Amino acid sequence: MLFEQRFWEPIARGEVTVTFRRWKRRQAVAGRRYRTAGGIIEVEAVDVITEREITQADARAGLYPSAAALVADLRGGPDLDLYRIRFRTVAGPDPRTVLAEAQDLTTEDLDDVERRLTRLDKASSHGPWTVETLRLIEARPAVRAGDLADALGRDRLPFKTDVRKLKNLGLTISLEVGYRLSSRGEAFLRARG
C-alpha cells in the first residue's frame, strides 16, 4: 500500500492507524498484511463511508489536523467509493528481507523455489522468464530496469512487475538503480548450477 513520504515515519512509530482512499473497487482486505515504506501494516477493517462520516478522531489517527483537511487531501472524484482503512503497524523486519538474507538453502527450500518459479513461468504469457531474469540480474547488477528489459526484448513495466515477483520470493533486492541478487537468489543459482 502506498503512502506519501510524510507518513512513513509516523506509520513506523504506530502513530498513523487509519487512511482513506477513493477506489473503484476495494483494494485492501481486513486481516491481510501489506508492505509500506513505513513498514508492514495489518489491516483491521475496511469500510465504505461518506465524507460526512469522517470524524475528528479519524483525522487525528490519519495525521490530519481536521476532518476537513483530510477530505481536502483525498484523491479521486466523488463518484468513487470512499474507503476507511484501519490498520496497525506490525513490529519486526519485513519477511522478504529475512528471506532474502538466507544463504544456506535446504533441499526443501530449493525445491520450493523451483516449484514457485515453474508456476510463474507456466502462468506467463511470454514464456519462461524466471531463471533467465535471475541470470541477467546476476550478470548486470545495478543496471536500469529499462536496459535489462531491452536486453530480454521486453517492455519495462511488465519486466519490473516480474522482478517484483522474484523479490517477493526473496531472490532479488531493489537498488536505487536496478537490482541485485539477494543471498538467497545467489544460493539458489549456485545450487542450480
| Whether 117 contacts 162, CB under 8 Å | no
And the C-alpha cell for 160? 519490473
How high is the pLDDT of residue 169? 93
Q: Evaluate if residue 96 carries a pLDDT over 80.
A: no
Rounded to 5°, the CA angle 126-182-124 comes to 10
CATH 3.10.400.10 correct for 5-89: yes
| Whether 152 contacts 132, CB under 8 Å | yes
Q: Which CATH number, 1.10.287, 2.60.40, 3.40.1000, 1.10.10, labels domain 95-192?
A: 1.10.10
Domain with CATH 1.10.10 in the chain: 95-192
In the sheet where 33-36 sits, what is the strand order?
Answer: 18-23, 81-89, 39-49, 33-36
Domain with CATH 3.10.400.10 in the chain: 5-89
- HSE-up of 73 (CA within 13 Å, CB side)? 15
Handedness of CA 63, 65, 67, 69 (dihedral sign): negative
pLDDT bin (cut points 50, 70, 90) of residue 94 is confident
What CA–CA distance (Å, rounded) separates 119 from 127? 11
Q: Evaluate if residue 93 carries a pLDDT over 80.
A: no
Q: What average pLDDT does the segment 71-88 reach? A: 95
Please name which of 36, 2, 22 lies closest in space to residue 82, comparing C-alpha atoms: 22
And the C-alpha cell for 139? 550478470
pTM score: 0.63
What CA–CA distance (Å, rounded) separates 120 from 81? 33
